[in-house]
């Protein structure tokens, strides 16, 4: 049997959804009490791919490892299945290619994805989970929160025309007026997408190749950057408790394009999710709030 890499495991999880007509980064957040998926024992929210995947599939936000459940006197419901949480180990090499223990001494950093198993609270018995009171924003509060977040970034945003784009050389975002969108939620989700591109500027996260701030259309770098922007927008939408734009019957080409990209590059989803998390952190940092 062929050995399956961690990258391939993560990619297959997303491919299964895409092939069912679902883009998991397009999600409604306003139909439930919003809490990020987190480890209940440590109260640490999951990040990147883990936040995307676990919060899509589970309404209950709490997870624990088998040992954490045992240590707290709980037990796993008979027949329950664990899910995976992915994390990064790093291999540090010096200039001669020799392994070193300290990152400060490394000339090369090689990411090595790993995973461990967790159970959702719905499959854990014998533990009384404590949930906060309902903290959903009102419709007005959601929009107000979005506007405050956008202003806190300091991004140069120009409202004009009928299309949305980030212009890297002049470092500004061009966007249609809010009333031109189907809803305020669509407007802010689109703006968060463009703000994700904005974070890649050399003066911020420096995500683009030197001398070529936006990857060429159709290139592998372009596909990764678009996925980073999609995922970052989803993370920020979740923070603001607004719905991401939902797919409709005309989005078969959109889904198929991502299926083809992910099949061609199994590292794409984990790497893009990690970069999207950094972008979301940068956008949310002025408010001192982190996913």
Report pLDDT digits (tens) over 200-209: 999 999 988 6
As a whole number, the mean pLDDT across the chain is 88
Do 210 and 235 belong together in one domain? yes
**163 in a structural domain:** yes
Question: For residue range 209-225, what is the model confidence (pLDDT) as tens digits?
Answer: 665 666 766 666 788 89
**1 in a structural domain:** no
Listed residues 113, 131, 149: the one ending a domain: 131
- 194: tokens are 């463009």
In this structure, what is the dihedral angle of CA atoms 70, 73, 78, 79, given to the nearest 10 degrees? Answer: -40
What pLDDT shows up at residue 289? Answer: 37
Do 169 and 287 belong together in one domain? yes
Do 169 and 239 belong together in one domain? yes
What pLDDT shows up at residue 227? Answer: 93
**72 in a structural domain:** yes
**2 in a structural domain:** no
Contact indicator for 221, 209 with CB cutoff of 8 Å: yes
What whole-number percentage of the chain has pLDDT above 90? 62
- Mean pLDDT throughout 154-183? 94
Do 279 and 179 belong together in one domain? yes
Do 24 and 142 belong together in one domain? yes
Do 290 and 162 belong together in one domain? yes
Question: For residue range 236-258, what is the model confidence (pLDDT) as tens digits?
Answer: 998 888 887 776 655 788 899 99
What pLDDT shows up at residue 212? Answer: 61
Indicate whether 263 pLDDT > 90.
Answer: yes
Listed residues 104, 131, 158: the one ending a domain: 131
- 64: tokens are 């624990």
Do 260 and 155 belong together in one domain? yes
**291 in a structural domain:** yes
Helices 268-284 and 48-57: crossing angle in degrees, nearest 10, is 100
Range of the domain at 85: 35-131
- 31: tokens are 């139909």
Listed residues 115, 131, 147: the one ending a domain: 131
Choice between 25 and 73, residue whose per-residue pLDDT is larger: 73
Question: For residue range 92-147, what is the model confidence (pLDDT) as tens digits?
Answer: 888 878 888 887 777 888 888 999 999 999 999 999 999 887 667 888 888 999 99
**150 in a structural domain:** yes
Report the alpha-carbon distance of residue 177 to residue 175 in Å, rounded: 6
What pLDDT shows up at residue 247? Answer: 66
Do 53 and 92 belong together in one domain? yes
Report the alpha-carbon distance of residue 119 to residue 84 in Å, rounded: 9
Residues sharing a CB contact under 8 Å with residue 31, sequence separation 6 or more, in sequence order? none
Do 12 and 76 belong together in one domain? no
**252 in a structural domain:** yes
Q: pTM higher than 0.85, yes or no? A: yes
Do 50 and 139 belong together in one domain? no
**165 in a structural domain:** yes
Number of domains in the chain: 2
Do 196 and 161 belong together in one domain? yes
Do 93 and 74 belong together in one domain? yes
Contact indicator for 115, 87 with CB cutoff of 8 Å: yes
- 86: tokens are 């992915």
């Amino acid at each position: 049997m062929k050995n399956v890499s961690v990258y391939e495991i993560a990619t297959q999880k997303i491919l299964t959804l895409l092939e069912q007509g679902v883009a998991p980064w397009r999600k409604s957040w306003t139909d439930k009490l919003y809490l990020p998926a987190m480890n209940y024992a440590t109260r640490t929210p999951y990040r990147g791919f883990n936040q995307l995947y676990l919060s899509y599939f589970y309404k209950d936000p709490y997870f624990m490892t088998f040992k954490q459940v045992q240590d707290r006197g709980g037990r796993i419901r008979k027949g329950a299945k664990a899910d995976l949480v992915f994390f990064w180990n790093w291999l540090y090499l010096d200039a001669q290619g020799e392994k070193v223990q300290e990152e400060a001494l490394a000339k090369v950093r090689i990411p090595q994805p790993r995973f461990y198993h967790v159970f959702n609270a719905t499959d854990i018995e014998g533990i009384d989970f404590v949930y906060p009171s309902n903290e959903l924003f009102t419709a007005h509060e959601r929009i107000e929160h979005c506007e405050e977040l956008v202003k806190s970034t300091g991004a140069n945003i120009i409202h004009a025309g009928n299309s949305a784009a980030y212009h890297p050389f002049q470092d500004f975002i061009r966007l249609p007026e809010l009333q031109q969108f189907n809803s305020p939620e669509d407007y802010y989700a689109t703006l968060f997408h463009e703000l994700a591109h904005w974070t890649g500027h050399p003066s911020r996260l420096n995500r683009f190749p030197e001398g070529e701030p936006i990857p060429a259309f159709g290139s592998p770098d372009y596909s990764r950057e678009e996925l980073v922007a999609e995922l970052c927008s989803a993370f920020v939408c979740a923070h603001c408790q607004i719905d991401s734009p939902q797919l409709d019957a005309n989005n078969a080409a959109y889904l198929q394009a991502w299926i083809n990209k992910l099949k061609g590059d199994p590292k794409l989803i984990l790497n893009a999710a990690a970069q999207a998390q950094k972008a979301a952190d940068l956008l949310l940092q002025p408010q001192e709030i982190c996913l």
